[in-house]
Structure 1
């Protein structure tokens, strides 16, 4: 593989590793918010109307920002009827063909995410709840996660092509 592609793969992998490790720790503030909400509601008798919604927003960021990291670690769910019996080179060829559909899907998803985020920012879109938070921060996190997943998918495509050619990218 040409050096710019190797550089792209290394850079994307490094960025997604760091973002994924950050996203992994979002579980702690989510737990803290839910614990706070429970204590306030059950022990002190004061319900907190923002806690569940905030946790849902953080959960969205958790799995969307962590998706590329999951793909990088090959920890995503895969239909494994025939795949596990294939040789590594055959797997790489299969992956490099099927990943084109994933790249197309992520491009469409990213385009929709950018459009939705732009709308949310321009019109200061708020959620229709009692708390009524602005939605642009969660939409930015979601669109960023989709973009990072797209970059990781392209990186994986390059790795699969290199593997299929018998010259894996380290």
Structure 2
């Protein structure tokens, strides 16, 4: 069982790291879209797709990068006491927060799946002049929640292993 968990942790960490590094570059795509928007407006030829495309790109950046940020410990954490605790005490505290996070992400996943199914079934479109289909964005967002759920589970396994004195590296 320990080998399975270690393999799972390594797979999830590697996968989320690769997707997270890809997601980091989406910020440049968003900048390019917004730059094009500014230039096109300067020449009185505004494109109606730019603002929404930038918003969709930012949503993908945020959702696909969330698991990598969680893995790297780059998320917001109240470090008033946490930084001075021992590794075992941190692992015990993280065990509680990971459990709460998994419950929260379970609800997020349920909502994401039902919203994605709705968008696909009814060919949901945005209420803008451009009116793009919403299903691709909702699929990406649901995939991001799945990645964060897998990373939270990986973190939970690492915390349990740390508490047992057999850390997973």
Normalised-by-shorter TM-score class? over 0.9
Q: Counterpart of 1:21?
A: 21
Aligned-pair distance for 1:97?
1.9
CA distance in 2, matches of 1:64, 1:98: 20
Matched, 1:76 2:75: yes
After TM superposition, list the pairs within 5 Å mapping 1:76-155 onto structure 2. 76-155=75-154
Q: How many residues align?
A: 169
Deviation sequence 1:104-127 (CA, Å, 0-9, x none): 000110011000000000000001
Aligned-pair distance for 1:99?
1.1
After TM superposition, list the pairs within 5 Å mapping 1:55-74 onto structure 2. 55-74=54-73
Q: Counterpart of 2:31?
A: 31
TM-score (norm 1): 0.97
Aligned-pair distance for 1:48?
1.1
Aligned-pair distance for 1:31?
1.0
Secondary structure of 1:94 counterpart = helix
Runs of 4+ in 1 over 2 A off after TM superposition: none
Aligned-pair distance for 1:81?
2.5
Q: Counterpart of 1:157?
A: 156
Q: Which runs of 5+ in 2 are unaligned?
A: none
Deviation sequence 1:76-124 (CA, Å, 0-9, x none): 1011222122111100011112211100000110011000000000000
Q: Counterpart of 2:3?
A: 3
Q: Which runs of 5+ in 1 are unaligned?
A: none
User: RMSD across aligned C-alpha pairs, in angstroms?
Assistant: 0.9
CA distance in 1, matches of 2:163, 2:72: 19
